[in-house]
Structure 1
Amino acid sequence: MDTQAQLLVVLVAGAWPFFVGSLARGAAGAGLHPVVLLPGYACSQLDARLTDEFEPASTAPSCGGGALKGKKGWFRLWKNHKALQEDPALVPCYAELLRLVYDPVAGDYHNVPGVETRVVSFGTTRGFGSDDPATKNTCMEKLVQALEGVGYREGENLFGAPYDFRYAPAPPGEASREFSCFLSSLRLLIEQASQRNGNMSVILVTHSLGGLNANVFLNRSPLAWRRRYVKHFVMVSTGAGGGVFLLRFGGSPSPTDPLSFANTIRSFATAFSALPSPKVFGHAPLVITRAKNYSAYDIPEYLKANGFSDDEVARYVTRVLHVTLNFSAPAVPMTCINGIGVLTAEKLVYWDGDFGANPHVINGDGDGGINIESTLALDSLIGADPEQDDFKSLLIHNTSHVGTISDDLALERLVNEVLEANRAI
């Protein structure tokens, strides 16, 4: 082991007793403000059931037989690693069941006909995570354990707000039934969490996409309600303008991952939610080809070049972009925690213009997913807003997008921020 590696081991080993000690010091948990957690993309579990209206697609013949033949009642659709391991032929079937359909008449998204879905265990943290050991720490499991170590208890002062990650907010006046229902459920959960804890206000803690959803929720809630019910908003691994790596739309589907199927993930209302924002990335080239460079302002044209239909591109412009450009201060006390110092795609080079191929990636700084430009923009778009009088941005070096909620040192920092929010007057 070289000297640098030895030093790292010593630093981590030395910090661990302090981390454990800090958890023990809060074990009593008396007077803690309730916490509501919103997890990141694909971290909420979904159940499904089939009705007589369901007809298997030609691309998913396994939906017409096998393990789903004659299936009645609810079953776990996402994430069901165990079932897909036992019967890999179900992967394209589950990809089909997860797909959304856009109804131009209603102006909204819904499930494939004959498929009903529901979020598992809303109000608790039991609906987070996965039964896949390989992705065990990518959601909020370790954060839940750390919060329990300082006195938080599931169902008493610790709550979870899982959501259907396929749906996204729409601009005011546009239909978004499922997302609107989630916002109503979240508002009621926060009010009940407060009432259950002596009418104390709530600390919202989010990760990744959960932060974008919470920001929309807060900005669409009356200011008087926010100031009454939200003590602090801790937004983790969420930039102000998305990430360049999400501009990669090519690639072959994974034999074990339903979300890797293009016709599935492209159908989601969230497919474009975290694409680079023109407000943050400006006219800098993000995708480079021999014939043309594409900036954040050129994303509609880039989507067309990647095979998206005119209707899909129009939905990006009228629904997604409107929300992206209106990312703003929530006007409640707020702490942003982000990782930096990790190689992060800054430019994608498809020199021959073949967007189905793997690009040459030019890396910059960030957390591996969110670029540092998006992270630093939080200071100008939120911190400098006159409506935002209490704002802190913490950057944790050499920490990835997921590391902010799974690395021991980052977890310690995050839990300390929750405890500090508790102490604030």
Structure 2
Amino acid sequence: MATASSQLLLPVLLLAFARPFFAGSVEPGAAAGLHPVVLLPGYSCSQLDAQLTDEFDHSSAPSCGGAHWEKRWFRLWQNHTALQEDPALVPCYAELLRLVYDPVAGDYRNVPGVETRAVAFGTTRGFGTGDPATKNICMEKLVRALEGRLGYRQGENLFGAPYDFRYAPAPPGQASRVFAGFLSTLRALVEQASEMNGDSPVILVTHSLGGLNANFFLRRSPSAWRRRYVKHFVMASTGAGGSVPLLQLGGSSTATDLLSFANTRWTFASVFSPLPSPIVFGHAPLVVTRAKNYSACDIPEYLKANGFSDDEAARYVTRVLPVTLDFGAPAVPTTCINGVGVPTAEKLMYWDGDFGAKPEAVYGDGDGAINIASMLALDTLIGADPAQDYFKSLLIHNTSHVGVISDDYAVKRLVNEVLEANRAID
């Protein structure tokens, strides 16, 4: 196996010698012969539209009543402007975002009477938060850098794959209709992007949850298809084994946060996907109480201790855990970029067993969201796999989970990796 010289055991500390980043300066000759790029954003960064049908029960969300909601598509996530102007809409929007599990179909679906769609699939226009205060967390700066520095152009050789972040992959034998539909459209987008660019294979660039989804997509694509259509996989802010901070499952609902209102986010199929993997964290205690400790191997019991039902804990075991344990080499040239040097919770203490309270935390290294153990596991689960011909990992010092796609120097390094992937000889 050929391995890049910059490896996880020899982290690259890049920040100290950063030069100014000029997004508008196109590198000479960069626009000529570029491989097409397809971007997959992180959790909550894909915009969603919704419309109501006659099947919708307005009594479940009285604020959704009136002719304003009937028979038209409207922005559901994130409609920051509408919620700022009328906070009374929050219960309606939260209800429309909620998923339900259908035990007959063995799958997740929208609330009856709600239809949803990702906005502007194929472009990056569907990326964003809708909130100007958080405009740089969803690849906007990366898009501008690819266009300004390398000469990429939307709809020509730069494409986006927004997705419904509420849904998640399922293992063989389990239904996941919406996510399977996304994978089909992603496959078609990659093929179209390649064909529009003289049959050049595509560079996939992802952030956070988008990396987990792309890894799943590649591992379940035929090897001949991968060789034909994928030039390189650049995975930013994604670990191999989940995140300890995401074990903070408690906390009360708020009046304005759609995802926390009435515990909306806990209905999502994707909510447990980034929890710590037993492969990475093993039996080490991650949550500590006076009565009992919980490791990554105890997550089903931990879910029930947090008020989730036996059925919900069982779905974690049958739907989520098999996908988590199957994380591995995508078998295409891969570069992983992560931030380090940011205090990241690696152990949570709820001394009295009150999981609704704010825990005390023991901090270690990471990007504030992903622990360094999860990043180091990439070297084993991807880099050491004989099926992986090329693997490179970069750790950028003093850079957060979002900073990898929003800090000037980190974005510059990310764009450089795209440029290197373009220049690499097959």
The TM tier, using the shorter chain, reads: over 0.9
Q: What is the CA distance between 1:24 and its match in structure 2?
A: 2.3
**RMSD (Å) for aligned C-alpha atoms:** 1.5
Q: Which residue of 2 aligns with 1:343?
A: 343
Aligned length: 410
CA deviation map 1:135-181 (0-9, x unaligned): 11111100000000111000000000000000000001210000000
- Give the deviation of 1:55 after TM superposition: 1.1
Tell me the equivalent position of 2:75. Answer: 76
Aligned to 1:47: 49
Q: Greater CA deviation, 253-262 or 117-126?
A: 253-262
- 1:70 is displaced (CA, Å) by 4.7
- Aligned equivalent of 2:62: 61
**C-alpha contact (below 8 Å) 2:24/2:145 kept by paired residues:** no
Who is 1:3 aligned against?
none
Q: Which ranges in structure 2 are unaligned for 5 or more consecutive residues? A: 1-14
Distance in 1 between residues matched to 2:316 and 2:422, nearest whole Å: 39
Letter in 1 for 2:320: V
What is the CA–CA distance in structure 2 between the aligned matches of 1:271 and 1:209, rounded to whole Å? Answer: 11
1:136 is matched with 135
Structure 1 CA distance, aligned partners of 2:339 and 2:94?
31
Q: Is the 8 A contact 2:23 2:144 kept in 1?
A: no
Equivalent residues of 2:282, 2:297 under 8 A apart:
yes
Corresponding residue number in structure 1 for 2:398: 398
* Structure 2 match to 1:219: 219
Mapped contact 2:340–2:396 kept (Cα < 8 A): yes
1:342 maps to a residue whose letter is: V
Structure 2 CA distance, aligned partners of 1:290 and 1:347? 14
CA drift at 1:263: 3.1
Instruction: Supply the distance in 2 between the matched residues of 1:157 and 1:138 (Cα, whole angstroms).
Output: 22
Supply the AA of the counterpart residue of 2:110: N
Q: Distance in 2 between matches of 1:253 and 1:371?
A: 26
Provide closer, same or farther for how the CA distance between residues 21 and 177 of structure 1 changes in structure 2, counting only shifts above 3 A: closer
Change (3 A) 1:246 1:342: same
Instruction: Pick 1 or 2: higher relative contact order, CA cutoff 8 A, min separation 6.
Output: 2
Distance 1:27 1:132 in 2: 36
For the structure 1 residues 258 and 26, does the alpha-carbon distance in structure 2 shift closer, same or farther, using more than 3 Å as the test? farther
Q: Is 1:208–2:208 an aligned residue pair?
A: yes
Q: Distance in 1 between matches of 2:250 and 2:262?
A: 8
Measured in 1, the distance between the counterparts of 2:345 and 2:71 equals 44
The residue aligned with 1:113 is: 112
The one-letter amino acid paired with 1:41 is Y
SS at match of 2:203: strand
State the alpha-carbon separation in 2 of the partners of residues 239 and 216 from structure 1.
13
SS, match of residue 156 in structure 1: coil
Cα deviation code 1:29-85 (max 9, x no counterpart): 010000000000000000000011111355x432235xx755330000001000000
1:40 and 1:172 map into 2 onto residues whose CA distance is 24
The match for 2:19 is: 15
The amino acid across from 1:412 in the alignment is K
CA contact (8 A) 1:26 1:151 kept: no
Per the normalisation by structure 2, the TM-score is: 0.94
Task: Measure how far apart 1:310 and its partner are.
Answer: 0.8
2:275 alignment partner, SS class = coil
Note closer, same or farther for the CA distance 1:39–1:283 as it changes in structure 2 (3 Å cut).
Answer: same
Counting only pairs closer than 5 Å after superposition, residues 310-329 of structure 1 correspond to structure 2 as 310-329=310-329
1:405 aligned partner, one-letter code: I
TM-score by length of 1: 0.94
Structure 1: segments with no counterpart, 5+ residues: 1-9
Amino acid at match of 1:56: H
Counterparts in 2 of 1:250 and 1:262: CA distance versus 1, 3 Å: farther
Identity level (%): 78
**Partner residue, 1:253:** 253
- Equivalent residue of 1:335, what SS? strand
For 2:55 and 2:259, the matched residues in 1 are separated by 24
**d(CA) in 2 for partners of 1:366, 1:349:** 19
Paired position in structure 2 for 1:88: 87
Q: In the TM superposition, what whole-angstrom CA distance separates every residue of 1:193-251 from its partner, at most 9, and x where no partner exists?
A: 00000000000000000000000000000000001100000000000011011111111
Q: How does 1:177-326 map to 2 (within 5 A)?
A: 177-326=177-326
Taking the aligned partners of 1:172 and 1:382, their CA distance within structure 2 comes to 21
Summarize deviations over 1:340-396 as a string: whole Å, max 9, x none: 000111111110001111111211110000000000000011000011010000000
For 1:175 and 1:77, the matched residues in 2 are separated by: 25
Q: Which amino acid aligns with 1:73?
A: R
Tell me if the contact between 1:57 and 1:96 (Cα under 8 Å) persists in the aligned partners.
no
1:73 counterpart SS class = coil
Question: What SS does the corresponding residue of 2:26 show, helix, strand or coil?
Answer: helix
Distance 1:284 1:235, change over 3 A: same
Give 1:5's aligned residue. none
Per-residue CA deviation, residues 76-124 of structure 1 (Å, 9 max, x unaligned), is 0001000000000111211110000100110001000010001100000
Asked whether the 8 Å contact 2:37–2:202 carries over to 1, the reply is yes
Q: Can you list the C-alpha shifts for 1:13-40, whole angstroms capped at 9, x where unaligned?
A: x711xx3289422465010000000000
